[in-house]
Chain A
Amino acid sequence: MPVVIVDGKEIEVRAGERLNAIEVAARAGVQIPHYCWHPGLSVVASCRMCLIEMGTRDPQTGNVVMLPKLVPACNTLVRDGMVIVTNTEKVARARAMVEEDLLLRHPIDCPICDKAGECRLQDYHFQYGQGERRADIRPITSRKRDIGDLFLFVDRCIMCSRCVRFTREISGTSELMIVNRGTHEEIDVLPDVPLHNKLSGNVVDLCPVGALADKDFLYRQRVWYLRRKASVCGLCATGCSIWIEENQDRVHRIKPRENMFVNKWWICNDGRYGYPFIHHPSRIRGVVRRTTSGQAAIGWTDALREIEEKVRTAARPAMCLSPFLTNEEAYLAARWMRNMHPDSVIALGPVPREGEDERFPGGFVISAEKCPNRLGVEAIAYGLGNGVLGWSDFLEEVAAGRIDRVIVLAGYIKPWLDESQAETVRKANWVALADLFPSPLSGKVDLLLGMATYAEHEGSYVNRSHRLQWLQRAVRPPLGSRCVGMVFWELSGRTGVYQPRMVLAELAAELPYFSAAAGEIPDVGVDLRVNQLAPSTAETQASTA
């Protein structure tokens, strides 16, 4: 196995593994500072912050011969016997000089810059910079330019070109370019061709300084006030890994979370900027019961009692599960329904689709299916027994009067049914609806329950590639609303706090499709097809025979 020596420490690298010196040093616990290098983009080796000393150890004699010049770590692919030294005076001097160079023209406007607190220039300056400014102090300005989806603070740019490479290599839209030469260089767009694509928000994350600013987040919060929770985007079937960043129960920013199996380092703008619905004033809150004189708010205890009684006494009740539910919610609800009434029907809600899948040159896909968990909910519905109906079949059954009581678990973000469909559902003599926003149905139901969004509860989703990922709760739901899982946890007679992890373990034990989720769920999720792809004993025997 190839061995690389990083600051005297031997690090083994798998044969055939293509790593640069930054990545290998990270394995040795050594941080090599860098600006222009990003694992998802091509290597340009232009910022020169990652300069290191490099040499080779003779395998026979053990003698080390070092190169006379410093080399960029990002552009140095490691090989057996390579010696990397990152802690010499020469390296420290080069880093300090690069820091000093970058700050010659960079406005020191950290008090107003959105990046303060997560700015690499700031961080590296304290770690590697010079203690004294030797350049002439010049008036500091900060020119802001609207370049489309984002703002560009021209003077803050350190010309790492990450954003330019992103638009060329990942989004494939090439709106950004570098104009002029030398210190006059600037990032810019052509007139009338602004930066406008569905992945444009990623360049803000890529920017190591505060040059590219998010119009949505600009001057909204100081980043050190934000708390971040690892979660999964609930707005399409790609199921990107995200960080939800909140302060005082308000989501302020959604950021991509690295997951090489799903979204690499990116998320789309739909997911990034789609969160305001969480705090929308028209959200359904609490529980409302229809009365002869209109609607009246009731408590959850009464609501649960009514649900239980109506289903128990029904001739043929039905439950409609939407693809926005988590696996745990769908499982608890469907299991309770089956237990309560053996003749109950499980139905699937409509699956929202918009156009076709959008594929980008860098491999990123925005799914046309605008729900996060169709596969998971379907697997649970079919796995738990008889009589699963599609949405149109369900409507037919209700219209024909073969279903008398209905619970619809919706959670849709956009309009999902029209007036006539709502009228059809209403033909059941008792309807309960859990949803996020008012719909043609919500004014007609007997019981209206406010539910939680993907940021407000724990659970798991299965994305379009059968990868199960775990959501952490980032904020609390609006006052009075509850997550569906909590409702059916209580209805199932389970005591204590709702524990989705326990429910998932149960689900994994009961349905083979979920068996891979039985243990700990890693940050990058787990592929539910693992067990299905493994050949069975019979298949193995057949192939060897």
Chain B
Amino acid sequence: MESFEPVLLANIQRPDSHTLAVYEATGGYQTLRRALRELSPAQVVDEVRRSGLRGRGGAGFPTGLKWSFLPADHPGPIYLCVNADESEPGTFCNRVLMELDPHQVLEGTILSAYATRATTAYIYLRYEYPLAYRRLQAAIDEAYAAGYLGRNILGSGFSLDVYIHRGAGAYICGEETGLIESIEGKRAWPRSKPPFPAVEGLFRKPTVVNNVETLACVKHIIERGADWFRSIGVPPSPDDPRDPGSFGPKLFCISGHVNKPGCYEAPLGISCRELIEKFGGGVWKGRRAKAVVPGGLSTGVLSVDELDVPMDFVGPVQKGCLGLGTGGVIVMDETYPMIEFLHNSCRFFAHESCGQCTPCREGTSWALQIVRRIKAGRGRLVDLDLLLEIADNIGIIPGTTICGLADGAAWPIKTAIRKFREELEDYIKRTNPTGYKTRRPVPALDNGSPSHKESPVSFQG
């Protein structure tokens, strides 16, 4: 950790870091120039595969392996989709990259397109990032003017066009097939797999979908080599043959009850406590942490005595969480009621469920209905077991739905009840001592639509 040198965020402190002039002054696009001259696409794929890079979007799938699923002899076109629909609560690292160093993202995108033989790349950007849109578009214009994009890039014979596609704002647009459907102009309903996008994706052609941060990493892997990348992070566990290791730098977004919320770069494997203490400046107001979401809301929650967990692709799993996720660390201090966490997470996923699969559409809102009743002081102890059962039925890998949203919805419920059951039971007993289901009308079922009158619970306490 002491010797770690940030690479992804190395330039963001510079004035006008988003411009081509500044980027080129720091050696920008030199890697692309060299790769196009010296490396074949297969060599780029091989280097990325050797590096052990795993997708930073949440699922952690090995990037080189994903690229190798593309049919070798496909006449084209092959598409590259850049997943910039960053919608997981507590996650904003892609935003930092796109707003402050868009050329780094573009260079990674061009290199990845070269490796995958893609001739068109779509950056799927969530609409709520207007600054990122303006800066990315400006960067694309600059790159075209400088010959880094367009036909016959740098005289290599390789051509690439990059377009920004702005999404209208939905969590499900970040799911890779939902994203593809959305680019095609349809409702972002995830597709049933197989076929996987590498075989039949955008416009029914082979497609690779990669996260912004993943592509930014590609630039550095080609620049510094796979061995450098593998020197950072955590090697595969000898006890788990399915663990390919967690290598490279990772952006962590720290938010919630900390003194210095923000986006920080650290090696994979850093402990959650170190992240909070060293980067986040510790829990605010001199309080202790009660719970921490390790990697975006869908990963579940860690209790305070689990904070020494290594933040790699395996660590949070060993503590009963979904995984590292996006690296969005949300800290809740000791005064924060867990019923609020449960309510917020249920409300979010009920609102964001696309509605395609019955268990997710109905299950998430049912869970919200129960949690809302508990919060309103009409809960019963058996409700917690019912919530666990609902969570089990809608998700908990392997889930029963087309995409992973239901899994994501289930994990916060499952971990919060398992790890904070005593507090939740205490809340129920305190607010509804008789334990009866009262005849008072149940609060209107609402999953956060604009007409929702209830004020959202704030992390500001």
Contact = CB atoms under 8 A, between A and B. Distances in A.
A315 interface: no
Contacts, number: 93
A101 B386 contact: no
Contacts of B359: 48, 97-98, 101
Contacts of A185: 355, 361
Q: Which of A69, A104, A105, A181 has the most CB of B within 10 A?
A: A181
Contacts of B364: 182-183
Interface string A348-366: 0000000000000000000
B192 A134 contact: no
A101 B400 contact: no
Nearest to B172: A181
Contacts of A49: 358
A226 interface: no
Nearest to A97: B393
Interface stretch (A39-47, A399-407, A506-514): A39-47
Tell me whether chain A's interface is mostly helix, strand or loop, or mixed.
Answer: loop
B354 A182 contact: yes
Nearest to A159: B355
A407 B159 CA distance: 80
Given A46-B356, A135-B369, A138-B442, A181 B362 contact: no
Contacts of B361: 101, 159, 182-183, 185
A491 interface: no
Nearest to A137: B442
A134 B380 CA distance: 12
Contacts of B370: 136
Interface in B335-389: 350-359, 361-366, 369-370, 373, 386
Interface string A176-188: 0010111111000
A495 B359 CA distance: 65
A184 to B, nearest CB: 6
Contacts of B402: 45-46
A184 B362 contact: no
A48 B356 CA distance: 10
Contact of B401 (A48, A104, A182, A184): A48
Contacts of B393: 93-94, 97
A44 B354 CA distance: 14
B206 to A, nearest CB: 21
Interface in B309-330: none
A17 B366 CA distance: 41
Contacts of A191: none
A72 B187 CA distance: 22
A51 B445 contact: no
A450 B99 CA distance: 84
A102 interface: yes
A48 B373 contact: no
Interface residues of A, number: 34
A183 B350 contact: yes
A46 B369 contact: no
B277 to A, nearest CB: 38
A448 B369 CA distance: 71
Contacts of A45: 192, 402
Contact of A182 (B187, B365, B373, B400): B365
A48 B362 contact: no
A105 B192 contact: no
Contact of A98 (B187, B354, B358): B358
Contacts of B192: 43-45, 72, 75
B447 interface: yes
A135 B402 CA distance: 24
Contacts of B363: 97, 101
A46 B362 contact: no
B449 interface: yes
Nearest to B354: A181
B386 A48 contact: no
Interface in B417-461: 437, 442, 445, 447, 449
A44 B445 CA distance: 27
B398 A68 contact: yes
A183 to B, nearest CB: 4
A52 to B, nearest CB: 11
Contacts of B366: 101, 104, 135
Contact of A136 (B351, B355, B442): B442
A25 interface: no
B398 A69 contact: yes
A93 B389 CA distance: 11
Contacts of A47: 357-358
Given A43-B192, A104-B366, A138-B442, A183 B358 contact: no
B386 A178 contact: no
A136 B373 contact: yes
Contact of A51 (B352, B354, B365, B400): B400
Contacts of B401: 48
A319 interface: no
A70 interface: yes
A86 to B, nearest CB: 15
A433 interface: no
A183 B398 contact: no
Contact of B400 (A70, A135, A138): A70
Q: Which of B192, B350, B353, B358 has the most CB of A within 10 A?
A: B358
B170 A102 contact: no
Contacts of A101: 358-359, 361-363, 366
A158 B350 contact: no
Given A104-B362, A135-B366, A183 B442 contact: no
Contacts of B355: 159, 178, 180-185
A417 to B, nearest CB: 53
Interface in A122-171: 134-136, 138, 158-159
Contacts of A97: 359, 363, 393
A183 B363 CA distance: 10
A48 B364 CA distance: 15
A138 B365 CA distance: 14
B399 interface: yes
Interface in A29-77: 43-49, 51, 68-70, 72, 75
Interface of B: 170, 187, 192, 350-359, 361-366, 369-370, 373, 386, 393, 398-402, 437, 442, 445, 447, 449
What are the nearest 10 A-B pairs in CB distance? Answer: A69-B398, A101-B362, A185-B355, A182-B353, A183-B365, A97-B393, A46-B356, A45-B192, A182-B355, A136-B442
27 contacts: A45-B192, A45-B402, A46-B402, A47-B357, A48-B401, A49-B358, A68-B398, A69-B398, A70-B398, A70-B400, A72-B192, A94-B393, A97-B359, A101-B363, A104-B365, A104-B366, A136-B369, A136-B442, A159-B361, A178-B187, A180-B355, A182-B351, A182-B352, A182-B353, A183-B364, A183-B365, A184-B355
Given A46-B356, A48-B401, A182-B352, 15 more contacts: A46-B358, A47-B358, A48-B358, A101-B366, A135-B369, A136-B369, A136-B370, A136-B373, A138-B445, A158-B358, A159-B361, A178-B355, A180-B355, A183-B362, A185-B361
